[in-house]
Structure 1
Amino acid sequence: MNLSSGEFYQRSGFRKKFTYRAIFLLALVFYVSSCHKHDFDFYDVEGNGYRYSDLEGRYQIVNYWAIWCAPCKLEIPELQALHDDYDNVSVFGVNFDHPEPQIMSEQVKLMKIGFPTYRKDPSNVLGIKTPEVLPTTLVFGPDRELLATLVGPQTKKSLLAVIQEN
């Protein structure tokens, strides 16, 4: 018995199998591409996502602080001023104690921090060791190279000096 190619496809169910496989592959492609769009490198305490690639070309200041640290409380306004006044500088905070998100959010408000605060310690991602002394401020260049590790309270002026040196 000779079947035409059209009859073969109808009887064998080939068309149906092919259609299901094509739909599955298209769905998989859309799923993978949509996952990439939401793939963030880190999140702040408010749940906002950030990509390091979006920060390229900017200086990044990462400050480790704690609610019980008196010098930290003194330098927060300086960091806030730097964050507010310079478009080429991004300031991020790290709560050294890593409390639960709700407590961390309350502490951020209490400290009057208006710049993003990491939800988790970024030391592994940044390739650094978690500081043992507070406050500690890390200055990264536009190429994400670590320029300085500063221990003790900093001022807007001292941080700008590090940036201008590089």
Structure 2
Amino acid sequence: MKWRIKARFAPLAGLLLAAALLGGCGGDYGPDQHGNPVSAKTLDKHWLVVNYWAVWCGPCRREIPELNALSQSLQGQGVRVLGVNFDNLQGEELSAAAQTLGIDFPVLAQDPAPRFALPRSQGLPVTYIIDDQGKLREQLMGEQTAAGIKARLAALQGNGN
């Protein structure tokens, strides 16, 4: 009799365990391209520039140096640049792809789209600007420049939308 009760509640127990494990990670963002954990406290309450890229995307490849420069220029200003591989590469594949493209900013192995309710783009590259409250503020389609993104950030931060 005890076994039947346990077996009947096994799916519920599994869901509860999964929720506890996910809840216990404090809302962290998962590992970066080097396998290092990206904690929520390093990104939350910051403006985020989240760029989706792929190795096969020519404009993505051209845009990476601009994003590297943007990331460098924004250090200490409450804005973080993050990458996300469109093809969901993981582990060594993600690390190798990021290295091949010369990406210097963190690349998240776990897609943050659900966290910020980001729409799935049909084209690449696509860059999302998320404010310090976690609200999507802008979707930028196509190849971007550091100057262009900085101008959009300044406009969004200055007008209080």
TM-score (norm 2): 0.74
Which segment is superposed worse, 126-135 or 149-158? 126-135
> What stretches of structure 2 of length at least 5 have no aligned partner?
1-19, 157-161
Pick the aligned partner of 2:84 from 91, 94, 101: 94
2:54, 2:60 within 8 Å by CA — same for their partners in 1? yes
- Deviating more after overlay: 153-162 vs 51-60: 51-60
| Corresponding letter in the other structure for 1:157 | A
- Secondary structure of the residue aligned to 1:160 is helix
Task: Pick the structure with greater CA Rg.
Answer: 1
1:88-127 superposed matches below 5 A: 88-127=78-117
What is the number of residues matched between the two proteins? 133
CA root-mean-square deviation: 2.1
Decide whether the 8 Å contact of 1:43 with 1:49 is kept in 2. Answer: yes
Residue equivalent to 1:58: 46
Q: Identical aligned pairs, as a percentage?
A: 32
**1:102-160 Cα distance to aligned partner (Å, 9 max, x none):** 11111100100010101122211221222221000001112222111000000011101
Matched position secondary structure for 1:81: helix
- Contact 2:52/2:127 (8 A) holds in 1: yes
**Alignment partner of 1:93: what SS?**
strand
1:37 Cα deviation from its structure 2 partner: 7.7
- Unpaired runs of 5+ residues, structure 1, are 1-31
Q: Does the alignment pair 1:132 with 2:148?
A: no
SS at match of 2:111: coil
- Written as runs of structure 1 = structure 2, the 5 A alignment for 1:1-166 is 40-86=28-74, 87=76, 88-166=78-156
Give the Å deviation of 1:39.
Answer: 6.3
| 2:151 alignment partner, SS class | helix
Q: TM-score, normalised by structure 1?
A: 0.72
Q: Aligned in 2, Cα 1:121/1:36: closer, same or farther, shift over 3 Å?
A: closer
Cα offsets for 1:38-80 (capped at 9, x unmatched): 7623321222222334324422100000001000011111111
